[in-house]
Amino acid sequence: MPHFCKEEEEILYRVFEITKQTMSKFERCTGISQARLDLLHQLYEVDEISQRALQKLVHIDHAAVTRHLKQLEEKGMVVRRKNPDDQRFTYVSLSEEGRSKIVAYRSEKQRFISNVLADFSEDERKVLLGMLSRIKENVEKINE
């Protein structure tokens, strides 16, 4: 770990490192990225949705959603179809394969979360969530 001049720098560094490590280990443990799992979860809740509406729900840029959906489609987990009346619009739904796999993914996600938060009391989790929420709010205020 680099030598830090200020405690504040170390806090931000640790947030970055935790994010990087968590994303990598999450995908390795669950077999799917958090972004793709979010897409599948949203699709699980609806029969069919436009790709544009899905993109707004998951807060991922359009190109990334298209890329993720293409790869999920290649794996047989989602079905995409063009609107016959307007080819600019694509509709997405979860395939049967996707429906069956999301249950397993959710289970693996819960196991991962339990491991990450092991040995934290309920009170510690609440305090941590409060602090992380404040950091998120502060970041959102930057350049408003």
Q: How confident is the model at residue 30 (pLDDT cuts 50, 70, 90)?
A: confident
Task: Round to whole Å and give the CA distance between 13 and 87.
Answer: 46
pLDDT score recorded for residue 81: 94
User: Is the separation of the CB atoms in 109 and 23 below 8 Å?
Assistant: no
Q: How confident is the model at residue 143 (pLDDT cuts 50, 70, 90)?
A: confident
Question: Does pTM top 0.85 for this prediction?
Answer: no
Query: Is position 7 within any domain?
Result: no
Query: Is position 89 within any domain?
Result: yes
Query: Is position 37 within any domain?
Result: yes
**Which segments of 26-131 are extended strands (E)?**
49-50, 78-83, 86-94
Instruction: Calculate the alpha carbon distances from 13 to 16, 41, 86, 134 in Å.
Output: 5, 31, 47, 17
Establish how many alpha carbons lie within 13 A of residue 31's alpha carbon, considering only the half-sphere containing its beta carbon: 11
CATH number of the domain at 44, please: 1.10.10.10
Q: How confident is the model at residue 125 (pLDDT cuts 50, 70, 90)?
A: very high
Q: Nearest to residue 36, comparing CAs of 62, 63, 69? A: 69
Query: Is position 26 within any domain?
Result: yes
Establish how many alpha carbons lie within 13 A of residue 40's alpha carbon, considering only the half-sphere containing its beta carbon: 27
Tokens of 38: 């979010």
Q: How confident is the model at residue 83 (pLDDT cuts 50, 70, 90)?
A: confident
Query: Is position 1 within any domain?
Result: no
Task: Round to whole Å and give the CA distance between 125 and 130.
Answer: 9
Query: Is position 131 within any domain?
Result: yes
Instruction: Residue 50: give the domain boundaries.
Output: 20-141
Query: Is position 10 within any domain?
Result: no
User: What DSSP element (H or E) covers 83?
Assistant: strand 78-83
Q: How many folded domains does the chain comprise?
A: 1
Query: Is position 6 within any domain?
Result: no
What is the pLDDT of the chain when averaged over all its residues?
A: 91
Task: Round to whole Å and give the CA distance between 112 and 123.
Answer: 20
